[in-house]
Amino acid sequence: GAGVSQSPRYKVAKRGQDVALRCDPISGHVSLFWYQQALGQGPEFLTYFQNEAQLDKSGLPSDRFFAERPEGSVSTLKIQRTQQEDSAVYLCASSSRASGNTGELFFGEGSRLTVL
Amino acid sequence: QKEVEQDPGPLSVPEGAIVSLNCTYSNSAFQYFMWYRQYSRKGPELLMYTYSSGNKEDGRFTAQVDKSSKYISLFIRDSQPSDSATYLCAPSDDYKLSFGAGTTVTVRA
């Protein structure tokens, strides 16, 4: 596709449920990022992939958060046993650059998660 | 204290006004400075990209970086209603962006 595609756009989960959020980056983009954006705040870094390798997962808030990109294209962010504080917009971004400053990040529209 | 502090806003200005947006940061390793624009319920999109200190102009937009004072600015000249959005500063030292909280700007027609 022409841009970064994320699904679902909206997800409501009951506390304790597991959720999976999908990201389809721009075709051929090597770098893929996940960011978390709470209401009224800027995006916060979660994790970074270069192709299928997860090079940085320092921003994942707890071991309930898990991300993968097994074939170096589509990525999934999984949140286990969701808590109310997990409610946020989860943004996926991709870049064509592989190292150093990745320059322009192209963001998807995000997956808005609400945990009741 | 957050790594990047951004003037909170919101700002409401009449069409044609100059909009001034500012951020300060604490990490002296930052050398790439981006401004992203985010419309409601959309993902951020890159507006300006600057490497190191100095000014960069692109049409009605000017980005300024002063690394000695760790101060980042974005100016919008001749503001238009279509400029109404949230503006996020995002400095970086490598691949990881550190976003400010954003300033929401409304340009009144």
B41-96 pLDDT tens trace = 999 999 998 888 889 999 999 999 999 999 999 999 999 999 999 999 999 988 89
The pLDDT score that the predictor gives to residue A47 is 97
Burial A61-100 (b: 16+ CB within 10 A, else e): eeeebebebeeebebebebeebeeebbbbbbbbbbeeeee
For residue A90, give how far its alpha carbon lies from the nearest alpha carbon of chain B (Å): 10
Which residues in chain B are contacts of A100 at CB distance < 8 A? 94-95
CB–CB of B93/B86 below 8 Å?
no
Assign A104 a pLDDT band (cuts: 50, 70, 90). confident
Mean pLDDT of B14-40: 96
State how far the Cα of B103 lies from the Cα of B21, in Å rounded to an integer. 7
- A vs B, Cβ pairs < 8 A, gives 56
A61 contacts: CB under 8 Å, gap ≥ 6 = A36, A46
Which residues in chain B are contacts of A31 at CB distance < 8 A? 95
The pLDDT score that the predictor gives to residue A1 is 54
pLDDT at A109 over 90: yes
pLDDT at A32 over 90: yes
Assign A49 a pLDDT band (cuts: 50, 70, 90). very high
Question: A33 to chain B: nearest residue by CA?
Answer: B96
- Over residues A10-26, the pLDDT tens digits come to 999 999 999 999 999 99
Query: What's chain B look like in SS3?
Result: CCCEEECCCCEEEECCCCEEEEEEECCCCCCEEEEEEECCCCCCEEEEEEECCEEEEECCEEEEEECCCCEEEEEECCCCHHHCEEEEEEEECCCCECCCCCEEEEEEC
State how far the Cα of B84 lies from the Cα of A33, in Å rounded to an integer. 27
The pLDDT score that the predictor gives to residue B52 is 83
pLDDT at A2 over 70: yes
State how far the Cα of A20 lies from the Cα of A7, in Å rounded to an integer. 9
pLDDT at A44 over 60: yes
B59 contacts: CB under 8 Å, gap ≥ 6 = none
Choose the weakest-confidence range: A73-77, A82-86, B26-30: B26-30
